Structure 1
Amino acid sequence: MAQLSLPKQLANFTSSTTGLDLGLRLLHALTLIGTGIELDSATIMRCSVAAEQIGLGRRYLRFFDFLGCFQNVQDILATGNSMRTRKQILDMAESSALGMYLVLEGTTMLHDMNIYSVSWYTPVLLEAYKFWFYAICIAIARTMLDLLLEPVTSVYHNSSGDANEKKGGKSGNPSPSEPVPSTVSLLNQLVIDSLNLTIPGSLLGWIPVSDMGVAIAMLITTILVWPAVWGKTQK
């Protein structure tokens, strides 16, 4: 197959929801970093407004992603096996937690859009962040168990680090012909999930990380995920 031109590759990347969200995530991280740098007050204000609007825009993209999460759970339950494998159990737990996060976050959308303010905004959003935190913890546990207990070869492994990356994924046992993640890809995913854990962790006050630290973690994980997402969008 002929090598696609860079403009064509970029078009493929931005035409996919995952690629578009990842691009916005990069801008989001950079604007958050901009708010913490010693700049003039006007620039800091612009970065703050940009970060808020980009964050809201990313929420539009993942508004219905909870459907994919709950579909993953249904697909696993529909297999009919009375005994679930470790991977199936962890996948169901992760998808359930991530789905609950997305549902609860979605209920606060009108408040964030300044359309309909509600008194329960903060407690509901905090509960959403808890489910997000739990989902990433489950993903980390699964990756660690894969590293310790299973033979590995090579393929990219997805996780809860960013909600959009879970959309449409299928859970369950891999087919005999489907390769399992390599040690390098699992370690890479472990780093990504561990850094992503600081986002909900800091919002909940469970992980003592500064806003700048969270922004840098977001930037690093975006860069680490970028090659895999870029490659997928070119297929």
Structure 2
Amino acid sequence: MTESNIAVNVSQFVGNAAGLEKTLRLLQSISQVVGANLLPAAAAPWLRARAQFALGRRYLRFLKFIDAFSLAFETLSSRSGVVAFLEFGKWSCLGMFLLLESCTILDAMGVYRTSWTSWLFVEAIKFWFYSLCFGILRAIYELWNLSWAGTSHSKEAEGGSGKVARKVALDEDSGRRQRTLQRQIAMKKLVIEGCDLFTPGAVTGWLVVSSGNVGMLCLVSTVFAGADVWDEILGT
């Protein structure tokens, strides 16, 4: 890939709303990590930059709670059982987080200060924490199902004979590749949401972790999630 192609791809990525959000999140994470490892005077501009990157991301997700609630109710009509419960919990809690956070946007902009904004923002962050917990449980449940599916298919292959055994073996090979891909996707989701969990956990005080470590974990999750967004936008 030439330098011009790289520049065009980066431009397309940043020009997309999802790509821009991930770019700002990456810059926010880097600013937080650097600021957390400097003396207060030297850290001040980095922390101001972090706050501005965070505010920019809030503009991009303003009213996004509508999409989250839509996905939550769509889950009820398209899925059932444990998966439906976990998916509904994830998206409905994310919707509540985005809704409550949207109510504090004027205060974050410095346009209209209120006495209840700090309290409401923490309550919003709690719903983000709950959403990530549901997402983590969903990934674990998927990995558990994939492990059981592999065991049952192996037993079928062992029990057959002749043409039946060969057909089962071919199906098993195809199924194994598909399960491997699904397992990789589930593992990536687990890593991303596991790293993200420390951000709301630190804000609420439910998880004791330093600002620098939160920034590093956020950086890791952003790289993994950003890679998926990159592939989706550029079609690679």
Measure how far apart 1:220 and its partner are.
1.2
What root-mean-square deviation, in Å, do the aligned CA atoms of Structure 1 and Structure 2 show?
A: 2.0
Secondary structure, in 3 states, of the residue corresponding to 2:62? coil
Match of 2:10 in 1: 10
Give the greater-gyration-radius structure (CA).
Answer: 2
Distance in 2, Cα, partners of 1:76 & 1:138: 14
Q: What residue number does 1:20 align with?
A: 20
One-letter amino acid of the counterpart of residue 62, structure 1: R
Aligned to 1:73: 72
| Aligned twin of 2:36 | 36
Mapped partners of 1:192, 1:123: distance in 2: 27
Residue aligned with 1:223, SS: helix
State the match for 1:95 in structure 2.
91
2:81 paired residue number? 85
**Which residue number in structure 2 is paired with residue 51 of structure 1?**
50
- Please, what TM-score do these two structures have when normalized by structure 2? 0.80
SS at match of 1:47: helix
- Comparing 179-188 with 104-113, greater Cα deviation is found at 179-188
**Structure 1 segments of 4 or more deviating over 4 A?**
none
> 2:158 is matched with which residue?
none
Residue ranges of structure 1 left out of the alignment (5+ in a row):
153-178
The offset of 1:78, in angstroms, is: 4.6
TM-score (norm 1): 0.80
The corresponding residue for 1:168 is none
Identity of aligned residues (%): 30
Choose between structure 1 and 2: higher helix proportion. 2
Instruction: Name the structure 2 match of 1:210.
Output: 210
Q: 1:70 to 1:37 in 2, by over 3 A?
A: same
Residue by residue over 1:123-181, the C-alpha shift from the partner in whole angstroms, topping out at 9 and shown as x without a partner, is 211110110000000000000000001348xxxxxxxxxxxxxxxxxxxxxxxxxx775
How far has the Cα of 1:39 moved from its partner?
5.1
Which residue identity does 1:69 align to in structure 2? A
Cα pair 2:76 2:84 within 8 Å, conserved: no
After the TM superposition, which residues 1-235 of structure 1 pair with which residues of structure 2 at under 5 Å, given as runs?
A: 5-38=5-38, 41=41, 43-78=42-77, 84-150=80-146, 151=149, 182-235=182-235
Distance in 1 separating the partners of 2:76 and 2:142: 22
Q: 1:115 and 1:232, CA in 2 relative to 1: closer, same or farther beyond 3 A?
A: same
Q: How many positions carry a matched residue from both structures?
A: 202
Query: 2-side partners of 1:39 and 1:93: how far apart?
Result: 41
Task: State the AA in 2 paired with 1:52.
Answer: A
How far apart, in 2, do the equivalents of 1:212 and 1:51 lie?
12
Unaligned runs of 5+ in 2: 151-177
